[in-house]
Structure 1
């Protein structure tokens, strides 16, 4: 049985990407698993990563953080899976699924509601509804999220609750990350506030930086994303360069040490685009 995971990206930092990786790691024990995502360049590339075939379809443009990949529908049909698993919201995957007219079973994990780019709603919502109507099952992280979603509340008969999880192996203490924790204790004196996540609008990082003006502590921000320069400029304007630090990407070993060192973990998300936040579990 071939299971095809269809998402935005694969293998890059981010909560949804980690969820897709976890599905692949578990399913490949019993099934043939492939991944279909957009590439960041114009060339289509196929690789084998940890026993999973990953196809990154070349894109010709990137508009409003949406990949434009004209050959994505044909690649989806070419894969000919027994089960296709979409990760939503994803206009590229949604349109490709409808155009390819796959006859196999189909499920989706619904990760978030759209709260920005509402100008797209008259175009996107009918397409999304067609996809959701065709699906056999829709998985979400919690009953509360499903019931309060303006989209999912119409599809409760298809909803299955599948809570997100993490691999505890990634976060086991080792002599190496214990030594890193000691280094961070020396590097960051006093109380430490920690944020881990993608640097994007719904994470509420502008609120966090603003709040740090009133907090007697150091703040470490771990993650990458399109708002990095904006956040960096805000930190400079607020005169917080000595107390708010943009770290960028951190390895699993470094993450363990940062979590261990932190006094406060903060998730300042500001709208429903953040449906859960995998870093809470970490």
Structure 2
């Protein structure tokens, strides 16, 4: 008698989003890629997205099949891909589980009309609709029907549930799974700043060049300052940022590096003195790149948004504490008259303590963010102009180096546990 051993069939998962590699690089795409890679032994993953590329419709990215539905551009940040709902409907029957990465109204349109009701749906909620909030009257009912039929809703932090009215309606379905990164590639040898440039400290920022990222804030902060700014990323804002750099005469100190591969980004992160995340709206919900900065041992400057951003790099711990303190800790600087001098050695030294595993899995807000009076800004900081609470202009001057090297645990989606 012959015994044949066959590998059991792996459940198949269809990841649904509006764009994917290699058309764009970003935090949400990294999350999808890492989910597919980390679960490849247990699940057969596939991705359905939109693309403006005229190249092949079906490609393979990191051993994951990706189908790209033709898009004719973007309308109000939404791909103009009229055949996407039809393709999604056809693909649903081929998979055991659907993983929607929201917000994506084209997919909501399919689920709202009941298609694919015989397949379990998990929603990864990455952000609320902020940029085109005027369309909520049309989109929100579709999103509500999608969340109603979802088996589970995955969020990266409790702040998203607390500050998103639509999620609060389905709080019993929400599960918090913080993002994580692979830190094995960040053990670079120490590189001194003077090996990089002779124009002051090196400030690094990374992200898609879109309005909510606030890179224009960072560029304006470099005027008449002795530091250099390198920005990694591509996007629709590039022409406007290039014009702003020319108008401010910063061509020799502000560089737009475009898209770079992972190894080059890690190298640049280890080269930098300070990492800045100047996002200005709640469209920035987590800031995965902050974990990369911490893995590289770099102090972080972020903004006081009502999302997980200031909870990932916490005020006065992983993030630089205040503008005045950052100024005071520079050698040769007179104490800021706005704030009393800080005790020696405590002004802006990022914490070197490693977070416990429980802390890394579920970071909590600092006490200063639990109850905030109207008009609150962290440690006396003031926005550059009304509506933007951003510490960038002074905080990026800090020359402190962080000794912290965080090791966030490897994470898996709720449905893979």
TM-score normalised per structure 1: 0.91
Pick from 105, 122, 139 the counterpart of residue 91 of structure 1: 105
Structure showing greater relative contact order (alpha-carbon pairs closer than 8 Å, 6 or more residues apart):
1
**Contact preservation (8 Å) 2:123, 2:150:** yes
When Rg is computed on C-alpha atoms for both structures, the one with the higher figure is 2
Larger strand share, 1 or 2: 1
Map residues 1-282 of structure 1 onto 2, 5 A cutoff: 1-11=11-21, 12-41=24-53, 45-79=57-91, 80=93, 81-99=95-113, 101-102=115-116, 103-173=118-188, 185-187=195-197, 189-282=199-292
Q: Which runs of 4+ in 1 moved over 6 A?
A: none
Farther-moved stretch of structure 1 (64-73 vs 269-278)? 64-73
Segment of structure 1 superposing worse, 189-198 or 206-215: 206-215
Where structure 2 has 5 or more consecutive residues not aligned to the other structure, the ranges are 1-10, 293-417
Deviations 1:55-78 (A, max 9, x none): 111124421221122222222222
Give the Cα–Cα distance (whole angstroms) in 1 for the partners of residues 52 and 281 of structure 2.
27
Gaps of 5+ in 1: none
* Cα distance per residue 1:224-248 (max 9 Å; x no partner): 1110111111111111111111111
User: How many Å apart are 1:185 and its aligned residue?
Assistant: 2.6
Distance (Å, rounded) in 2 between the aligned partners of 1:223 and 1:124 = 29
Decide whether aligned partners of structure 1 residues 262 and 273 sit closer, same or farther in structure 2, where only a CA change above 3 A counts. same
> Alpha-carbon deviation of 1:188?
5.2
CA RMSD of aligned residues (A): 2.1
The structure with more helix, counted as a fraction of residues: 1
* Post-superposition offset of 1:214: 4.8
TM-score (norm 2): 0.63
